Amino acid sequence: MAATNRAPSVILGLCSFTHDSSAALLVDGELIGFVEEERLSQQKHTKDYPHHAVDWLLGEAGLTAADIDAVAYNFQPAHYLAESSAALRLALSPATRDRALPRARGFAKVALRTQLRTRALGRRFPSARVLPVLHHRAHQLAAFTASGWNESAVLVVDSLGERQTTTIARGHDALRPSVRTLQAINDPASLGYVYGAVTEHLGWRRGDEEGTVMALAALGDPDRFRHLFARAVRTTPTGFVVDPGYFPPRVLTSGYPRTSRRFVTETCPERHPSEPLQNVHRDLAAALQARTEQVMVHLARRAGKISGSRRLCVGGGVATNCVGIGRIIEEGIFDEVFVPPAPGDAGTAIGAAIAVHTGSRSQRPVSGVARACYFGPSFQNQALDLTPWPDLQQKTLGVETAEFLADELAHGMIVGLFQGQIEAGPRALGNRSILASPLEPGVVERLNATVKFREPFRPFAPMVLAERAGEFFTLGQEAPYMSMASGVTDKARERVPAIVHANGTSRLQTVARSQNAFMHDVLSAFARRTGVPVLINTSLNVKGKPICGTPEMALDCLVNSGLDALLLEGRWITK
């Protein structure tokens, strides 16, 4: 790798080789773009090297691989080794003795593998230094920088980053973001690990379908297993611990179950995905979710106390638990809570790049990240060839596109929307969305059964004009990235019950004109027709597939689902 004394000006941030591969590019501190590889490769949660994303970023900036000064990678190999030696302490306890050596070997193996991966990245970029960034530091910087605030507490909660699972930091300086970790909790105390373990136990895919368990929780009784989870995940004055009698310490190799015989005995046998849901499954999900919310609120209080801040940024995979985020907001611990559009591992590509930039001698401020979410490729000027889809018809719409779309939605059509740059993160935010009227009878059932092909209990999220959100939702703050569950008003229950989940909440997206002018126009036009400034917004995909990042993916989604039409860059496409 070439050595250089100057500050790197072209920094490629990478999340790769684990899950949710992505890439981000900073040039002189400005974010040129960011995209998750799955949006271009069609492989959901892919762990492959993000070559589609990198190729697009280099093309967007007019650069080649040789122009990259630094590659910021979102893990540090050496920190796995620290846990490898620490794992041997588990041999001192009869409850964990059988996991001590396999755990030590697993962490050592991952340390070596991560080191080899960083070397492989160096070979791809001959002029670049490869700079590994501590995983939670990448999360912290991604969350804090996206907020645009000058200072805040930063809480990161995930499954595992090297050896850390939970960190509390304080961030400051919006232009040259800096974070200082105040407290760290290490594995095996991991809230993400526990949630993933129960998700798997209930028959869904760990690392993918935790949101399904969160939705199921609203249908169960948490009291049935409340005491079990209070024992299994015990809060302490400074955080929490996980009881290995219920959730044995993780081993980073396959073949080691995440739940114990005791857990199975005191709850239920593992559910196969084909088995029908029973009350015990609903109650288990409800108790898991309730305990997760309690621990999240406890950690938020701790963050407020040791940081002294009245604002909170939350990152990490557990930050996608929108009901837990909503609970933190309801508690009134902070004046405002912020979750970035990509709080999970994909977003650490941005955070790692920022870490390298701010850690260099460059005086350039970071720009293009704060309060933004549309970072990926756009296909606005691309010619459209419908030859592979001979049954589709298209017509080009004029300047009244928002009015036309609002009218079709008001008449009950379910429409895919593909416009502008791909949004970051797991939620569709109006550029790769499926839209429907919440006033249409049976719309939720139709969306689940014939469009999304997913479980009938899954709710659908609303988008609402930011200036009218208070009429329908009680959150009391902006929610631009659909990352917070809010209580609803009587008006919402009366006018738009379709967007109210069984637990009385909605995961809303507030839409300001400054964020997405087209969607603001659509919502305004829909409100003029119906009196309601609210639409159902779900991601442009079907279950098991990534959000459609390319026109071809969107057209396939139209053909292979119950969508009525697709609005693709001003073209109205129907079957």
237-286 residue pLDDT tens: 999 999 999 999 999 988 899 999 999 999 999 999 999 999 999 999 99
Q: Which residue has the tokens 């006033």?
A: 439
* Res 4: pLDDT: 46
Max distance between CA atoms of the chain, in angstroms, equals: 72
Contacts of 159 (CB under 8 A, 6+ apart): 165, 190, 192, 193, 196, 207, 317, 318
Backbone angles phi, psi at 569, to 5 degrees: 45, 55
Q: Give me the residue label for tokens 């690990």.
A: 193
Is the bond preceding 462 in cis, omega lying within 30 degrees of 0?
no
pLDDT at 305: 98
Burial of 488 (0-12, 13-18, 19+ CB in 10 A): buried
pLDDT at 426: 96
The CA radius of gyration of the chain, in Å to the nearest whole number, is 23
pLDDT at 472: 98
Q: What is the pLDDT of residue 574?
A: 97
Is the Cβ–Cβ distance between 308 and 342 less than 8 Å? no
DSSP string, 41-95: H--TT--S--HHHHHHHHHHHT--GGG--EEEES--HHHHHHHHHHGGGGGGSTT
pLDDT value of position 399: 82
Nearest-5° Cα angle at 144, 242 to 22: 80
Q: Mind listing the pLDDT tens digit for each residue in 448-479?
A: 999 999 999 999 999 999 999 999 999 999 99
Q: What is the pTM of this model?
A: 0.97
Residues (pLDDT < 50) of the chain are: 1-4
Phi, psi of 146 (to 5 degrees): -65, -25
Q: Report d(CA 324, CA 293) in Å as an integer.
A: 5
What per-residue confidence (pLDDT) applies to 552? 96
* Angle (deg, nearest 10), helices 210-217 and 279-307: 100
* pLDDT reported for residue 6: 67
For helices 210-217 and 191-201, give the axis angle rounded to 10 degrees: 80
Count of other CB atoms within 10 angstroms of residue 387:
6
Q: How far apart are CA 386 and CA 314, in angstroms?
A: 43
Determine the number of helices (DSSP H) and then strands (DSSP E) in the chain: 17, 21
pLDDT value, residue 3: 43
Provide φ and ψ at 36, rounded to 5°.
-80, 135
Whether the CB-CB separation of 39 and 46 falls below 8 Å is answered with no
Strand 311-315's sheet: what is its strand order?
178-186, 164-172, 151-161, 311-315, 336-338
